[in-house]
Structure 1
Amino acid sequence: MTTTPIRSTVEANTTVKHEVKDLSLAPLGKQRIEWAGREMPVLRQIRDRFAAEKPLAGIRIAACCHVTSETANLAIALKASGADAVLIASNPLSTQDDVAACLVADYGIPVFAIKGEDNATYHRHVEIALDHRPNIIIDDGSDVTTSLVLHRAHQLPEIIGTTEETTTGLVRLNAMFKDGKLTFPAIAVNDAETKHFFDNRYGTGQSTLDGIIRATNILLAGKVIVVAGYGWCGKGAALRARGMGANVIVTEINPVKAIEAVMDGFRVLPMAEAASIGDIFITVTGNKHVIRGEHFAQMKDGAIVCNSGHFDLEIDLVALNEQSVSNSFVRNSTQEYKLKSGKSVIVLGEGRLVNLAAAEGHPASVMDMSFANQALACEFLVKNQGKLHAGVISIPYDIDQEIARLKLQAIGITIDTLTDDQITYMNSWTVGT
């Protein structure tokens, strides 16, 4: 990975600690943040209430997220709430440098994120987030929470709780709880209906294809696209790919999800069989080495491989390197590996999240609900401090429903309400046929 030198240029009137690429990019970032904000009416309403009520006054928050224009609107809402928040990147390739600059220069929010930062810089930023001595961690993949538990046990008494944005992060948190290491509440934001039904399905579905198209400029119609994993992200990618005219194959390890994919009209095969058929491969499983050396060996010449799962482990790039004689970038975010067999395999976004490495991530309108969940989860943790059990807990039903209600209201849609007679019927066990 190319390492981008850190520039921590502080203007005379800026005292906020930060590490961003260049503060002079702030005007472009402000435009981008405001454009995204137009599509985030739910978070805007929450921000306005937060500004009036200050429900997080004095609460220290460490947020580890993709530093995008949508995340910026969450950070601004947290500052309006009275929180003392620090923001770091959750992925080395997802940062929008102009957005990071704007948050520092225009909003006074400490940001430590540079697009292309190396792993050492990323881990140092995790330490900076923990040096903030957070009461709440907003996590995306649970790296900050894991580092806290493993290396900062003396800070655990200061933790009110965490919120987790991703399926991958929740897998880690559940394993942590099973091992007796998760001693505080962790809100499963990813499991909120107003998050995974929309963000994962519609957001990941659209933005993954957007990343593929931006990186390659290829026509999807008529291509064979292999989607590894049929969770909500996989469903979104498969549905959108079919909508663009692709022939979609799904690979799965879960028999129920495999049946669902079949009944949704997709062909289901093991990766060992799909490898020789696919033109484009998308991994969205949350697991490691879904595409391995034996699969690369079977692929067509010029097969394209990309990942939309959180970590860059889904594609076994070590094995691919071992099978290759060379690799080089042939376009932005597009790397060609020349195999010893004479064939080539194309990897997009260095195996990291293609929708953020090669595009701009989820559309703001779906992140509106996801980040509304994050903001309200933080408020819930503070209001219920000392009352919640340790472990992974769900977003309260009434918060989920309120976010959906606000979204409908913002887009001008009304729905039916139950009559008194219907309420009585729904709460009765004596009325039947």
Structure 2
Amino acid sequence: MTKPSMIRNAALAAEGHQKIEWVIRHMPLLRQMEADFIKTRPLEGIRLTMSIHLEAKTAYLAKVLASAGAQVAVTGSNPLSTQDAIAAALADDGLAVYAWHQATPKEYTEHLLAALDIGPQLIIDDGGDLVHLLHQERRDLLKNLYGGAEETTTGVLRLRARAAQNKLEFPMMAVNDAFCKHLFDNRYGTGQSVWDAINRTTNLIVAGKTVVVAGYGWCGRGVALRSQGLGAQVVVCEVDPVKALEAAMDGYQVMTMDEAASLGDVFITVTGCRQVIRGRHCASMKDGALLANAGHFDVEIDIPELQALAVEEKEVRANIRGYRLSDGRWINLLAEGRLVNLGAGDGHPAEIMDMSFAIQVLAVLHMLQNRETLKPGVHAIPREIDDRVANMKLAAMGLSIDTLTPEQQAYLSGWESHE
């Protein structure tokens, strides 16, 4: 059963349409898919629930899936990243939308559950909240569920942890692990969008500052690269010795957070873990230090410990919460410690999300086509999907590449002779 949309302000639809129309111009892969789907309708009659950061690029993904014939219910995956104008525009287009900006925890859960009320056969998740609710509160929906796709690093980590304990009861495609996702979205998308958000929110210079990046996965690599490009001195904090060594050989300083705390001007957490920056770290930071989180959940910076240190807290600028310590130093937290590139910005560039969402669409189709054989668990994106998206992107950029001749293929696959 589809409930009426739950949005903040339907009058914002025109603004939302304008934003969506802008990104559509810069998403040629999804445009091509949409043109094909209008004719072929590969998702005809399928019910699909999406929980993903609700902004313009995501809205176009939802519209493309609807053009394929799916009945789509859309909700957010983070209360701070939902844009009310986008929600209004999607509802105006006839999609079922359950989300608004700055939803309370109770409202956020209500929105997720409302989106699940359509009884989805397929899901697209971002962070794992839909998967959690399907296993805990809406187990009645499992019987009709084929499976789904997970967008982000944190969500895949949660899926693998659940699967390791044999507690994942349906198949999920690990979209985050696709080459055309993590190599480009996580690295270049995160690197740019994090700094877009920080610069927009603070209006401060980066050059000459020390930026501490916690985590050197693909997202952390991107943040460190863009920090360096903006003229910052970059410190990387890691728990993985191989990644720490890579960061050192990439030219960054590597040290513990305890060592870095007094050196940094800007701290950016990108780990997927919790309590990466603790109260003791905040206690030794410079006056005016900026704290930003680029991980999915608002647990990487220990906000309760920061609050316990503070003798005063207030909004010092839009989307910046200042915490004054007893000696007069201020520590500044951006976007409530939530995902800064979406909580204080518009997220990744459209050209990047065009690739990631193309993989999402193809992963959903793969799940549907292979629903009889895919077992519960976390499944890799087939290489042919990556190659298809990469070839589409190259073509959209007007680029051509070489192909192997039959003789070269035989040479590479053989072992008898290398003459």
Judge conservation of contact 1:29–1:101 (CA < 8 Å) in 2.
yes
Contact between 2:320 and 2:332, CA under 8 Å: does it hold in 1? yes
Asked if 1 retains the 8 angstrom alpha-carbon contact of 2:411 and 2:418, the reply is no
The answer for the alignment partner of 2:21 in structure 1 is 34
Name the residue aligned to 2:91: 104
Is 2:203 the partner of 1:201? Answer: no
Name the counterpart of 2:36: 49
Given that 2:3 and 2:114 are in contact with CA atoms closer than 8 Å, whether structure 1 keeps it comes out as no
Q: Report which stretch shifted further, 340-349 or 396-405.
A: 340-349
Alignment match, 1:271: 257
Q: Which residue of 2 aligns with 1:357?
A: 343
- Taking the aligned partners of 2:129 and 2:363, their CA distance within structure 1 comes to 19
Q: Distance in 1 between matches of 2:164 and 2:118?
A: 28
Q: CA RMSD in A?
A: 1.1
The list of structure 1 runs, each at least 4 consecutive aligned residues, that deviate by more than 3 angstroms after superposition, is: none
The whole-number CA distance in structure 1 between the counterparts of 2:3 and 2:114 is: 14
Aligned to 2:47: 60
Q: Mean Cα displacement is larger for which, 250-259 or 131-140?
A: 131-140
How do residues 3-402 of structure 1 correspond to structure 2 at under 5 angstroms? 17-105=4-92, 107-402=93-388
Deviations for 1:239-297, whole angstroms, at most 9, x for unmatched residues? 00100000000000000000100110000010000000000000000000100011011
Please give the TM-score of this superposition, normalised by the length of structure 1: 0.95
How high is the TM-score relative to the length of structure 2? 0.98
Q: Distance in 1 between matches of 2:417 and 2:14?
A: 64
- Please tell me whether the aligned partners of residues 270 and 293 of structure 2 are also in contact (alpha carbons under 8 angstroms): yes
Higher deviation after alignment, 333-342 or 75-84: 333-342
Give the 3-state SS of the residue equivalent to 2:281 in structure 1: helix
Amino acid at match of 1:129: A
Listed one character per residue, the Cα deviations across residues 154-212 of structure 1 (whole Å, up to 9, x for unaligned) are: 22111101210111111111111122111211100000000111110011000101111
Counterpart CA distance in 1 for 2:123 and 2:10 is 26
Mark the runs of 5 or more structure 2 residues left unpaired by the alignment.
none
How far did residue 38 of structure 1 move?
A: 1.0
Matched residue type, 2:390: A
Mapped partners of 2:160, 2:138: distance in 1: 19
Q: What CA distance in whole angstroms lies between the structure 1 residues aligned with 2:400 and 2:236? A: 37
State the secondary structure of the residue aligned to 2:268: strand
1:16–1:109 CA contact under 8 A, matched in 2: no
Aligned length: 418
What letter corresponds to residue 170 of structure 1 in structure 2? V
Amino acid at match of 1:376: L
Write the distance in 2 (CA, Å) between the matches of 1:38 and 1:130: 31
CA distance in 1 between partners of 2:100 and 2:354 (Å): 24
Shift of 1:152: 2.0
What 5-or-longer segments of structure 1 have no aligned partner?
1-14
Percent same amino acid at aligned positions? 50
CA contact (8 A) 1:145 1:162 kept: no
- Provide the residue aligned with 1:6 in structure 2: none
- Partners of 1:136 and 1:214 lie apart in 2 by 37
Structure 1 residue 16, shift from structure 2 partner: 7.8
Per-residue CA deviations over 1:301-320 (Å, capped at 9, x if unaligned) read 11110100000000000101
